[in-house]
């Protein structure tokens, strides 16, 4: 009997040593996801617009707030306008140009009837004045002479138009390698001015001259002129 009990004890001890009882894995506690903050909705403020009426027979709608700026459109009396801005002293209104979809221009407050409160209109900075047109010509535009008649004088003329008052600078360049000094011209108002220059040509060739607008905005115009001779 004692031998049976001893044997049973040894068997139980062997089973425990070999593996024993395996406990099921314990699940790790999981934290609930943190709520995501939703940014507050933002709305774009609607541009301020004030209705106005042309009180004169007609009004010039200009590139800038003043008579020194180029006229972009003429608006007849009684027309309704939408003002979107003003100058600092509220003597000119920036309005939607009825003659140019998506465009705008300036009208004088002296000839406008305001149909709403204008104090909320934003102050708009002065526009950037530019050279809007350059016309370049050479005289004569072709030279045919005897070869013993050199040198010949060639005259150049540049006609410049701006849309407002500005400081204008330029220079000339000829295909012979000659470049002029930088010239300066003041436009006190929108308009057209003419610049003249001349050069001496000493031999037959295909020549060109370039006129560079340096300020207020960069532009380049070029004209060519052939020069030939017979012995």
pLDDT tens-digit profile of 52-99?
999 999 999 999 999 999 999 999 999 999 999 999 999 999 999 998
**Residue 30, C-beta contacts closer than 8 angstroms, at least 6 positions apart:** none
Q: How far apart are CA 70 and CA 169, in angstroms?
A: 20
Q: How confident is the model at residue 139 (pLDDT cuts 50, 70, 90)?
A: very high
Q: Are 62 and 72 in contact (CB under 8 A)?
A: yes
| pLDDT per residue as tens digits for the range 77-86 | 999 999 999 9
Q: How far apart are CA 219 and CA 157, in angstroms?
A: 16
Q: SS3 string of 50-102? A: EEEEECCCEEEEECCCCCCCCEEEEEECCCEEEEEEECCCCCEEEEECCCCCC
**Residue 136, C-beta contacts closer than 8 angstroms, at least 6 positions apart:** 156, 157, 158, 159, 209, 211, 221, 222, 223
Place of tokens 């200009």: 62
Q: Are 112 and 54 in contact (CB under 8 A)?
A: yes
Q: How confident is the model at residue 170 (pLDDT cuts 50, 70, 90)?
A: very high
pLDDT value at 17 more than 50: no
Average model confidence (pLDDT) for the chain? 87
Domains of the chain: 50-114 (2.30.30.40), 131-230 (2.60.40.10)
pLDDT for the residue 39: 56
**Which residues are registered as beta bridge partners of 76?**
58
- Three-state DSSP at 117 gives coil
Q: How far apart are CA 209 and CA 139, in angstroms?
A: 12
């Amino acid at each position: 009997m004692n031998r049976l009990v001893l044997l049973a004890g040894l068997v139980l001890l062997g089973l425990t040593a070999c593996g024993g009882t395996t406990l099921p894995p314990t699940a790790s506690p999981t934290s609930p996801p943190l709520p995501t903050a939703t940014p507050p909705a933002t709305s774009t403020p609607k541009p301020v617009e004030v209705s106005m009426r042309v009180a004169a027979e007609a009004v010039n709608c200009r590139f800038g707030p003043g008579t020194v700026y180029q006229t972009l459109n003429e608006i007849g009396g009684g027309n309704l306008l939408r003002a979107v801005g003003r100058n600092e002293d509220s003597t000119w209104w920036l309005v939607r140009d009825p003659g140019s979809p998506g465009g705008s221009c300036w009208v004088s407050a002296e000839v406008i009837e305001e149909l709403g409160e204008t104090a909320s209109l934003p102050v708009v900075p002065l526009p950037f004045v530019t050279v809007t047109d350059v016309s370049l010509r050479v005289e004569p535009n072709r030279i045919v002479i005897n070869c013993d008649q050199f040198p010949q004088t060639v005259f150049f003329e540049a006609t410049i138009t701006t849309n407002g008052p500005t400081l204008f600078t330029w220079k000339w360049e000829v295909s012979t390698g000659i470049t002029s000094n930088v010239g300066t011209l003041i436009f006190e108002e929108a308009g057209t001015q003419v610049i003249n220059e001349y050069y001496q040509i000493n031999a037959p060739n295909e020549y060109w001259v370039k006129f560079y607008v340096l300020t207020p905005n960069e532009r380049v115009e070029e004209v060519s002129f052939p020069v030939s001779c017979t012995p």
